[in-house]
Structure 1
């Protein structure tokens, strides 16, 4: 059954599969497959071409997302002491567990062991049983949720461009209300087209563009925060964050918990780490070594940006830091620079949507092909000429299913357009199970760490502490969403 599933995935990816034995036999006869060994990896798939830099671009695209824009608000809830400390702790935990997860890409030998093509394959290889289904449900539900969150964030940035120009023309006192629905639909239409890119390793160029855009808007947010702090002639904020009195004690608790979720979401990339690692070319060096270096560089760079953007945003606005630094209109001028920053956010989210959605696309299509291998609608591809020498293989199933997926995420986004609360909930739900629990459990099995040994106890303590944080962040984010729903009218509320 497993072999059938892998062959189905290969067929879907237009990657003809040969076993290493078949390749060696054909080469020994000197037939038409002469030289095939140079074109295929040890698992019989087309050679992967990913490098340290492309892996880093994928990670940066996944990590430096819209979450960076909520960090000033998150630090405002926690204060100058707890805010940066929590951010550093999340970065350390994310990097450490990503190194554990990177070692799980191959079962056994890190250079020649059996490849695990995705997160679920790795869990199946090391843990098996019910945990595989549990992992799949959590991972793919989170990927779906991220697609919803990114649709919301993109529409907010597009609205911000419209409102920024309106404020410039009519003054800051004009409400300049606008609906997010048309912008979500525009974003969805673009994603319908891009979702037809067949495979994860074919979107490397989109990840590089998105990574450049993420640095662009993060840098603009940082620069505006510095300028605002200079204008204020000092840093705003306090050691403990927004004080009780300005908000109620209950609100202080809920907001602080939600801030944990926002920071967790800002470091969320473990759910696509194995898929990114599967794009890296074969050893030497091993894919795990390349992935660990890419993770280290990416997390150092993103943490530096996060600290600067979050802290400078808090320094500029103090307790009044907006939920979204570039769209909450803490800044009004220069309006054209805000427009550039928000346009960069939209372009970045276009790419990030695909980085998170492609693993889900691949899973559903692999499952469908395995379940109905003789269905023409699922397996048939139509060659569409793009140029005199290039053809695009159009799959009707891929066209229909992926388009339906984008439409569904768009409709849900229109129903729940709450940026901060949705971001916090997504970050909380995915952090412990995907970033901590499964990597720790697989590492314990892989290294055969004895139960109740010092290392085993330390790993379990780390996992337990992160579980407590996750539960608290979920409670805070749900409370925020409930509060928003009291005054929200679906498809009618404008900003």
Structure 2
């Protein structure tokens, strides 16, 4: 006996055949999703373990042993809890059988509506653009580190080996121009798996080098309260640095802005024959499992890298702990770690920019459906039987322009720690905390002024305060960096 999908009438109204007529289509009439919990976990690890891990030793150094590790644990617990809330919003009104919402904005529109939709879109896409710039900066720093370590190894440690980041930002941008022409997010699963492996590699190398430094040189000068006022910093600098450290940690955990897009790629098999074919676990359950794997894995690495890195370098921990091992020695291992960072960020850049690409292209098709420059796909046969690539001129021009603009902005503002802290502070509260909590209150119909409602609201507003003080610290750091910065100058 064939069981028809409950949404069959909706498909007919939209002029789309229900999925049981075509096994290549999913339950919403779109091409079959091929994602799994494994690929979703890989996307999450790729998105979470990024350049943020490099600044955690510095962040712990500002906060000290008493507060630093506790803040890392708190951020990981909050991120996991709110990511499960957001996963339930993918379908609405029912989180298992409801209508799919393909983007973060659609989730907010379906569950909250009103001005919150525009606020969500503004927060999400400003952050995604910022991440593109931040990853371009970080990738270039890693590539420059490889060149400098080879220079020191070849010419001796007395040579300055000044190197400009700009050529490497251009190289990174050219790679992204090519990869950005991949039309769909789900086709990047292989890139995310490679990137996730790279993130494990460089995090492990940084951890191993820190342990070796502790074993060889002993634990650096550390304290319960971090950098010492009057010795390492002034009292005002101590406060601003602590604020900025919160922003750096917040950035390290930021992936909520692409969670919905990742979840949309999870394979969802529907019942076509009653009592014969069983459906796979609902997307929200699979996504919660993937979030648990992704967040717990990254949290373990973060705590180890941050704490062991602080133990190795003490209160003088560098902003990027992979650049703090003397003159990049052992050079071959540090080189490999920095190559891993660059490869990882090649994939992470795409994970974060594909939602931006998709949003702009959908908006353009909706407003100019008759414009062939925007809508027409030109089939190009790939040699050696590799298939057909569909060229779209608007996609080519728009995505290329986006990569170029973000690369230019990265050249103008190449401030690693300050930039990451600002991004983290601006995105953490609205995207990681506020909207997921509001979604949960709405979807679960949590009674107003109940104990649970008060607890959730208290958490939300507490995180708002944290985001505001983190933003203040990062802005103060940026202002100081801009005053001393000379554009396009070689790195010392």
TM-score exceeds 0.5: yes
CA 1:102–1:180 in 2, change beyond 3 Å: closer, same or farther? Answer: same
2:45, 2:294 within 8 Å by CA — same for their partners in 1? yes
What's 2:255 paired with? 269
What's 1:405 paired with? 402
What's 1:68 paired with? 53
Aligned residue runs from structure 1 range 7-18, under 5 A:
none
What's 2:244 paired with? 258
Unaligned runs of 5+ in 2: 1-7, 269-278
2:202 to 192, 202, 217: 217
**What displacement does 1:372 show?**
0.5
1:236, 1:314 within 8 Å by CA — same for their partners in 2? no
After TM superposition, the score normalised by the length of structure 2 is: 0.93
1:393 to 380, 390, 414: 390
For the residues of structure 2 that align with 1:471 and 1:22, how far apart are their CA atoms? Answer: 47
What's 1:117 paired with? 102
What's 2:223 paired with? 238
Aligned residues: 473
SS in 2 for 1:38: coil
For the residues of structure 1 that align with 2:365 and 2:49, how far apart are their CA atoms? Answer: 34
Per-residue CA deviation, residues 393-451 of structure 1 (Å, 9 max, x unaligned), is 00000000000000000000000000000000000100000000000111111111121
For the residues of structure 2 that align with 1:389 and 1:63, how far apart are their CA atoms? Answer: 33
What's 1:5 paired with? none
1:384 to 360, 370, 380: 380
What's 1:152 paired with? 137
What's 2:276 paired with? none
1:77 aligns with 2:66: no
What's 2:446 paired with? 449
For the residues of structure 2 that align with 1:59 and 1:330, how far apart are their CA atoms? Answer: 33
1:279 to 243, 265, 272: 265
1:23, 1:37 within 8 Å by CA — same for their partners in 2? no
What's 1:43 paired with? 28
Per-residue CA deviation, residues 351-392 of structure 1 (Å, 9 max, x unaligned), is 000000000000000000001110111011111111336110
What's 1:193 paired with? 178
What's 1:431 paired with? 428
What's 1:11 paired with? none
Per-residue CA deviation, residues 259-291 of structure 1 (Å, 9 max, x unaligned), is 000000000000000000000011531100000
SS in 2 for 1:393: strand
For the residues of structure 2 that align with 1:291 and 1:77, how far apart are their CA atoms? Answer: 34
1:369 to 365, 368, 378: 365
1:321, 1:330 within 8 Å by CA — same for their partners in 2? no
**What displacement does 1:491 show?**
1.8
Aligned residue runs from structure 1 range 82-101, under 5 A:
82-101=67-86
Per-residue CA deviation, residues 94-151 of structure 1 (Å, 9 max, x unaligned), is 0000011010000022322000101000000011111111110110010000000000
What's 2:316 paired with? 320
1:422 to 411, 419, 422: 419
After TM superposition, the score normalised by the length of structure 1 is: 0.93
CA 1:380–1:237 in 2, change beyond 3 Å: closer, same or farther? Answer: same
**What displacement does 1:19 show?**
5.5
CA RMSD for the aligned pairs?
1.8
Per-residue CA deviation, residues 52-108 of structure 1 (Å, 9 max, x unaligned), is 100000000000001001000000000111110000000000000001101000002
CA 1:255–1:26 in 2, change beyond 3 Å: closer, same or farther? Answer: closer
What's 1:489 paired with? 486
For the residues of structure 1 that align with 2:369 and 2:139, how far apart are their CA atoms? Answer: 38
2:85, 2:436 within 8 Å by CA — same for their partners in 1? yes
Aligned residue runs from structure 1 range 154-193, under 5 A:
154-193=139-178
**What displacement does 1:494 show?**
2.7
What's 2:287 paired with? 291
For the residues of structure 2 that align with 1:373 and 1:18, how far apart are their CA atoms? Answer: 25
**What displacement does 1:236 show?**
3.9
SS in 1 for 2:389: strand
Unaligned runs of 5+ in 1: 1-16, 28-32
2:300 to 292, 301, 304: 304
For the residues of structure 1 that align with 2:466 and 2:138, how far apart are their CA atoms? Answer: 24
SS in 2 for 1:326: helix
Per-residue CA deviation, residues 166-203 of structure 1 (Å, 9 max, x unaligned), is 11122223221111110000000000000000011110
For the residues of structure 2 that align with 1:18 and 1:200, how far apart are their CA atoms? Answer: 28
1:18, 1:43 within 8 Å by CA — same for their partners in 2? no
